[in-house]
Amino acid sequence: MTTQQHTFPEVESTLEQGLTDMSAYYLENHLRPNPGKTQICSFHLKNREAKRELDVTWAGIKLENHQHPVYLGVTLDRTLSYKAHIQKDEPRTVITKAERTKQAIDNRHLLHEHSAVRKRLGSRSSFLDTSEALETTPTDARTTEWQKQWNSLGSQAAQWKERGITPDECLATGHDQPWAVWKTLNRLRVGEGRCKASMKKWNITTSDACACGEPQTMEHLMNCTQAPQCTGDDLAEPTAAALA
């Protein structure tokens, strides 16, 4: 149970009210409250109130205040700085590092030159096992990876670039237009959208014929005689012809 208030009395009052409601739920469902094992704590940055404990009772028993509760293996503290958790975990880290060093250099160690068994499932492996340290900024690394994937697309990438799509961390042109317009622009730029050909492929419709009689693909929508026509250059701007 959590609450956020401006003063300690407000916090105490809210918690007690919540516990009263919980007691009614327990009684209705034939459960027994256990205030003796229930702990409370507060998180704040008021150093003057660092030693203050919450005065909350449940079923007539004052609840225990805990300065460093453990949640999902993480030791919390009043300011949520995780200093208590780091100090608690530091000796274990030092011991583990020393043991690994001994395993690597001491041929008398039972696990000397031992290689860990490879995990059967990739999903069981931590991403840290396959990650590498970045030599550039995260932004440059992402852009470089996108550029590699972009270059592998060949003519399709060239077509996208002509229509205003580039491998950069910025929005494509036309982002100042209403969402429905910008969404349609981007679908025409990349050639993917709800055209009749795609809907037939998805088994939504049985025919891919356009109103003009031709197969309705995303490329056809740009040149259909029954609708305003535009080119890739119009999409890149976008011009009035693309927005029509």
Q: Where are the domains of the chain?
A: 8-67, 153-243
d(CA 164, CA 43): 49
> How deeply is 230 buried, as exposed, middle or buried, from its count of CB atoms within 10 A (0-12, 13-18, 19+)?
buried
Confidence at residue 120, expressed as pLDDT on a 0 to 100 scale:
62
Neighbours of 136 (CB within 10 A): 10
Tell me the pLDDT of the chain averaged across its residues: 84
Classified as helix, coil or strand, 233 is: helix
Q: Which of 94-98, 133-137, 213-217 has the lowest mean pLDDT?
A: 94-98
The Cα 123–Cα 51 span in angstroms is 45
Whether the predicted pLDDT of 17 surpasses 70? yes
The answer on pLDDT for 106 being more than 80 is yes
pLDDT at 189 over 80: yes
Confidence check: pLDDT of 125 > 70: no
Is 80 exceeded by the pLDDT of residue 131? no
Q: How far apart are CA 50 and CA 114, in angstroms?
A: 49
| Band of pLDDT at residue 207, cut at 50, 70 and 90 | very high
pLDDT recorded at residue 123: 64
The stretch 53-59 carries a mean pLDDT of: 89
pLDDT value at residue 14: 92
What mean pLDDT is predicted for residues 86-103? 79
Return the pLDDT at 10. Answer: 92
Contacts by residues 76-84 (CB-CB < 8 Å, ≥ 24 positions apart) = 76/41, 76/43, 78/41, 78/42, 78/43, 78/44, 78/50, 79/43, 79/44, 79/45, 80/43
Name the band, by pLDDT with cuts 50, 70 and 90, for residue 223: confident
More confident residue, 195 or 134: 195
pLDDT of the residue at 118 = 66
Residue 211 pLDDT exceeds 70: yes
Mean pLDDT along residues 208-224: 89
